[in-house]
Structures are given as structure tokens and as C-alpha cells.
Amino acid sequence: MELSINLLFPVLNERLRLESGIERTMAYLKEHVKIPYRLTILDNGSEDETPQIGQALEEKYPEVTYVRVGERGVGVAFRKGIALNECALVGYMDIDLSTDIKYLGRTIELFERRPELEYVNGSRFSRESDTRGRKWYRKITSMGLVFLLKMIFHMKATDAVCGFTFLRKETAERLVEACGDDNGWFYTIEFLLRAERMGVVIYDMPVEWQEDYNTTVKMWKTIKNYLVQMYRLRKAFRAEEKARQ
């Protein structure tokens, strides 16, 4: 399959950032990316002007598709994007472009150069990463999450929720089959943990990352869901290990 890429943008009530995020991405792609590309806006049930903005962007750019997902959560949007994807590479980015967009070009180069590579995982916590503007309490909770994932699941990656993940099409589809049905952010964590357990070839990529203070993520609700889902996933992994014995 010819190398091509589909950028998934899960959004919820993003009227303030959707247009600028897509415009900045399109400008970068036109100047720096030579392979065919698609942008898929996955709307998780926005109640503001996000649908109108998304539809206008779809009309403006042939490469952009607006999809109304109908359910809330990054997980369900990610699954929907993978199901609709027809490109050789697929992945998601935060619409605020917290991860410097130049790493999109570097990601494509990695996949071009390394045919064995299946998964690129952006990391804010690698020694070579440069994270700016992170509020102290958000940094503590994020690093605490990574600590728990390493303690409980022996995660090898240095970050699990950077908001910058890309895979080869076949690998993404295989992981969707293996993962549960959590609709929230934890789905992307399970995605990474499953990939590690399945021996997927992963590159943990240091990135430059800028905090966005207008984030719509509800931190404490998200943390509570993480803890519940970690308990569920640990039980699932243990059951799977017993079944293989």
C-alpha cells in the first residue's frame, strides 16, 4: 500500500480552537508533507458551534472530513476513526496542537525509514522531551499515572496520554480487536499497554509539548475513571494469562 496518513482529531465543544487547529495543520501539511493525507474531525457530541465549523472546513478542504460520532469520549472517537480509515498510517492529535506539529513530519519519516516500525508514541516525559507551561498539579497527576502504569502493568513507554499517537493501519485494526470498549481517555492507554504485550514495535518519541490552559478535559473525573479502568484491565490481563496456562 502506498504510504498515506490520516490525522484524527477528536473534538468536543471546540469552537474556539477547531478552525485554527485545522488551518495550522493544513498549512504544515501543504508545505512539508509529500505523501497523500487526510484529516478527520471526530465530533463527540458537541453542543456549541463545532459542527458548523467542522462542516465549513470540510467544504473548504477536500482533504478534511467531518464526522458526528454521537457518543462522548476520545476512545469511541479513536475507534470510529480507525474503522473509517483507508490510509496506510492513522493516528490522533490534540486539536490544540500541544505537541509541536513538526513531529508529524518526523513521524512520517520514521515510518518511511523503518518498515518494521508499527507504532509511534509521543512522550512528554522522555529525558529528551521539552514540556512547557505545565501546571505543577497537572504534572504531578500525569507523572503519577505513568508511575502507576509502570508499577501495575510494567509499561515500558515513558508516557501514555501525550495526545500524539500514530500507527500502521493493520496494527491499529489489530489493537482495536484486542482492546475493551472504554469510551474515555483510558482507551488510548489500554491501546498502548496491549501493543506492548503483543510485541508491537513501538518508538517512544520525545516531543516538544506546550500546555493549553483552555483544555476541556475534566481532570478529577478523568483520574477517577483511570483508577476504575486500571482495576478492570488488571483483572482482564490476569484472566487472559490464566486462560493461556
CATH number at residue 174: 3.90.550.10
Nearest to 5 by CA among 22, 31, 29, 21: 29
Q: In a structure prediction context, what are the per-residue pLDDT tens digits for the chain, which is 245 residues long?
A: 789 999 999 999 999 999 999 999 999 999 999 999 999 999 999 999 999 999 999 999 999 999 999 889 899 999 999 999 999 999 999 999 999 999 999 999 999 999 999 999 999 999 899 888 767 667 778 888 899 999 999 999 999 999 999 999 999 999 999 998 888 889 999 999 999 999 999 999 999 988 765 555 566 777 787 888 899 999 999 999 888 87
| Number of domains the chain contains | 1
Sheet of strand 37-43: strand arrangement: 64-68, 37-43, 5-11, 89-93, 164-168, 119-123, 202-206
Write down the pTM of the prediction: 0.91
Return the exposure string of 153-190: e unless at least 16 CB atoms fall within 10 Å of the residue's CB, then b. Answer: bebebbbbbbbbbbbbbebbebbbeebeebbbbbbbbb
Residue keyed to cell 472530513? 65
Q: Is 13 helix (H, G, I), strand (E, B) or coil?
A: coil
Instruction: Give the structural domain span for 57.
Output: 5-244
